[in-house]
Structure 1
Amino acid sequence: MPDGDAAPRRATISDIAQRAGVSTSAVSYALNDKPGVSASTREHILAIASEMDFAPAAAARMLSQGRTDTVGLVLRRDPRFLANESFFMELIAGLEIGLAEQHRGLLLQLAVDREAEMAMYRQWKAAQRVDAVLLVDFERDDPRVGLVGGIGLPAVAIGDPSLTGGLTTAWTDDATGIREAVRHLHGLGHRSIARVAGASTLAHVHIRDEAFAAECAALGVRHRILHGDFGVELAERHTNDVLDDADDPCTAIVYDSGLTAVTGLKTARARGVSVPDQLSIIGWDDSLLTTVTDPPISVMSYDVVSYGTAAAGLLGALLAGREPAAHLAGTPTLHERGTTARAEAR
């Protein structure tokens, strides 16, 4: 490129210091409004910086102020399934909306296991990559609570306050939601109901399990719970296991996600089982996927985007030095569509 076409060189702190006749440290103090220079010297330096159109790099400016304006989120999920999990896509959308209002960004990372996830938090803290993190997929006695507290990394939890170790928390009342699903099916005459759940180690799965079992017992409904991983293969296998049980045939299945519910519908149809005439299905978390099946799937649902926005608000409050209380973002309610019917129709 000819010299005449070259972009003008940006002014540096050294350039300002040379022109002002002061040290680079003095320039840094003045630009960052820190003590160490007199008021007249500060005004002199700022005037020269303005004349030279000085604009510090955003990253350097934020680091000098002890912040990055970035929030981290690590998802311990199989990438093959993540794109089809409406919950996380909508949660991230809500986070982006809320963080954008605070002029903050989101740093997203996938981890293969818990150890890799915890290593990522240590790396982020050591490298000053993020100001805070959002923790999801809580387990009972979750080791991440002690980790973020030990390294001084601010964190907001997505999960029931009883299981998040005192962290600032956004949560949904899953126990009430699963009870509503059981009562709805009981009202339709179902007396044997299966639950195809996520991983048993996850706190929200445990909460749903306990509420499901308790409500079934209270209503005199026979029940069984099969744990998977929110993936297609185990959802198909567990659906077949339920439908193969001739000794106590279930007339309804409640799934822990929309994707697994769609898998259950497909599996039942492949076996010649009519939904909802022979089998009722309820999924969890609404999405386009659950509305375009034939029939569309009845789901327990709430506003996940608003959930993410609320979590972003808690992060902002935490970083502002406040201690916000736990925020109940919603209670899943039934959106009845075409996959639930009276058991007598069987």
Structure 2
Amino acid sequence: MTAPGEAARRKPARRPTIKDIARRAGVSESAVSFALNDRPGVSADTRARIRKVADELGWQANSAARALSGERADCLGLVLARPARTLGVESFFLQLVSGIQEVLSARRTALLFQVVEDLDTECALYRRWWAERRVDGVLVVDPRTDDPRPALLAALGLPAVAIGGPTAPAPTGPPTAPLLSTVWADDAKAMARILDHLHDLGHRRIVHIAGLPGLAHTARRIHSLRTEAVRRGLDARQVRSVTTDYSDAEGAEATRRLLDAAAPPTAIIYDNDVMAVAGASVAAGRGIPVPGRLSVVAWDDSPLCRVAHPPLTALVRDTAGFGRLAAGELLALLDGGPPRTVEGELPHLEPRESTGPPPHGN
């Protein structure tokens, strides 16, 4: 049986209210409301005294109440519609979120993050969040080639920044139109840099193990690979892409199928670091030396690429900086700025020991 004193100690402390602040400061509740919400109606000295008392009591604004009253919720949303099993091994989103959070923390703005199964569920979540005034805006990731989200955001009037590439032209029209900005990186030029490196080494059989089909950046990378192959006079049957779910399991399985072919590739480009490491492991297990018989390139650099044996050639980009850029653009929209399309820094290729000339005669 719990003693009365122990129960009292376990009881959560009551949150301070405007009434508590008014009582201690010796002013009316309306004066407290004016002071804490930066409204006229109180003198500078009274405002300073009220804020000092509020700090002493540990008072914080109730974001839900503020949202219902028409003020900002001080919260942004981020929904990820991907297989949850792929998140634990991929570093890209962890770095992206760290950059986003760095900017939001400075503004005392929260990030509401949720993983869902599919795009329909993501769209339903936007509708609920906006109806409940849970968020002031959203960061939209993984733009699709056929993407319903821009139209939905327009209908809701929900400010947004699309991360990773244009999903639709920036909206125009009356002031009630939503604000949609875009931050993106040039996947086509990045792919061209990889092809330059492999082609200069002498590779002519090159396969790209891509991520999820239907994503806009997947389509851009596949298109760029084809375009660059044609420009260099390469056989389209020997320079191609296959899609996966980004997981190490599918990356490894795709690698096995390619290495079993009658004319296996001499170089493989993987759309993320975990697939590249998994693919290199498959090659090692079959006694295929990297890069002696197979060159390996990872689209995203990470500690995995640097500690692998051999270290993997990879595209290097400031993913956290990309997150900071996106968060800053959304906050700028909420502060009344215009929608913009902003290009991030082009990734550079870091050649390491996993790429070299193809075997003689290939």
TM (norm. structure 1) is 0.86
User: 1:86 touches 1:286 (CA, 8 Å); kept in 2?
Assistant: no
Find out whether 1:151 has 2:166 as its counterpart: no
Distance in 1 (CA, whole Å) between partners of 2:71 and 2:294 is 57
Change (3 A) 1:12 1:65: same
Counterpart of 2:130 in structure 1 is 125
The residue aligned with 2:173 is none
CA 1:186 to 1:47, structure 2 compared with 1: closer, same or farther past 3 Å?
Answer: closer
Aligned partner letter, 1:74: V
Q: Which amino acid in 2 is paired with 1:241?
A: R
- How big is the shift at 1:233? 2.3
- Cα distance in 1 for residues equivalent to 2:30 and 2:144: 48
Task: Give unpaired runs (5+ residues) of structure 2.
Answer: 171-179
- Does 1:179 find its partner at 2:195? no
Cα distance between partner residues in 2 of 1:44 and 1:203: 55
1:221 aligned partner: 234
Aligned residue identity for 1:98: V
Residue in 2 that maps onto 1:58: 61
Which deviations, in whole Å up to 9, do the C-alpha atoms of 1:102-143 show, x marking residues without a partner?
221211111111111111111211121111110000102311
Match of 2:91 among 86, 111, 114: 86
Deviation of 1:47 (Å): 7.8
Identity of aligned residues (%): 40
Asked if the contact 2:31–2:42 (Cα under 8 Å) also holds between the matched residues in 1, the reply is no
Contact (CA 8 Å) 1:285, 1:299: kept in 2 or not? yes
**Is the contact made by 2:305 and 2:312 (CA closer than 8 Å) also made in structure 1?**
yes
Partner of 2:80: 75
| Partner residue, 2:223 | 210
Find the aligned partners of 2:269 and 2:13 in 1 and give their Cα distance.
64
Deviation per residue, 1:259-305 (Å, 9 max, x gap): 11111101111122111000001011111111111001111121111
CA 34–186 in structure 1, closer or farther in 2 if over 3 Å, else same: same
Q: CA deviation at 1:93?
A: 0.8
What is the SS of the residue equivalent to 2:86? helix
Q: CA deviation at 1:160?
A: 2.0
Match of 1:327 in 2: 342
Q: How does 1:234-249 map to 2 (within 5 A)?
A: 234-246=250-262, 248-249=263-264
Question: Which of 253, 269, 274 pairs up with 2:289?
Answer: 274
Residues 59 and 17 of structure 1: CA distance in aligned 2, closer, same or farther (over 3 Å): closer
Distance 1:44 1:141, change over 3 A: same
Distance in 2 separating the partners of 1:24 and 1:295: 68
Q: Distance in 1 between matches of 2:136 and 2:190?
A: 34
CA offsets, 1:62-114, max 9 Å, x none? 43461121111111222222121111011011111111222212111111111
The equivalent position to 1:299 in structure 2, one of 311, 314, 319, is 314
Contact 1:175-1:207 at 8 Å conserved across structures: yes
Contact kept? 2:288, 2:294, Cα under 8 Å? yes
Measured in 1, the distance between the counterparts of 2:279 and 2:205 equals: 17
Structure 2 CA distance for aligned equivalents of residues 287 and 24 of structure 1: 54
| Residue 241 (structure 1) shift | 1.7
Distance in structure 2 (CA, Å) of the matches to 1:114 and 1:342: 42
Match of 1:196 in 2: 209
Change (3 A) 1:9 1:106: closer
Shift of 1:8: 8.9
Aligned length: 341
Residue deviations 1:175-208, cap 9 Å, x none?
Answer: 0000111111010011111111012200000000
Matched-pair contact (CA < 8 Å) for 1:31–1:46: no
Q: 1:19 to 1:97 in 2, by over 3 A?
A: closer
**1:62 and 1:69 in contact (8 A); partners too:** no
Q: Which moved more, 1:60-69 or 1:163-172?
A: 60-69
Match of 2:87, as an amino acid? Answer: L
Conservation of the 8 A alpha-carbon contact between 2:35 and 2:50:
no
Confirm or deny: 8 A CA contact 2:15 2:59 kept in the other structure. no
Q: Is the 8 A contact 1:276 1:338 kept in 2?
A: yes
Structure-2-length-normalised TM-score: 0.83
- Whether the 8 Å contact between 1:102 and 1:316 is mirrored in structure 2 is no
Which amino acid in structure 1 is aligned with residue 61 of structure 2?
A: A
Q: 1:338 aligned to 2:341?
A: no
AA partner of residue 332 (structure 1): P
SS of the residue 1:71 aligns to: strand
After superposition, residues 86-105 of structure 1 pair within 5 angstroms as: 86-105=91-110
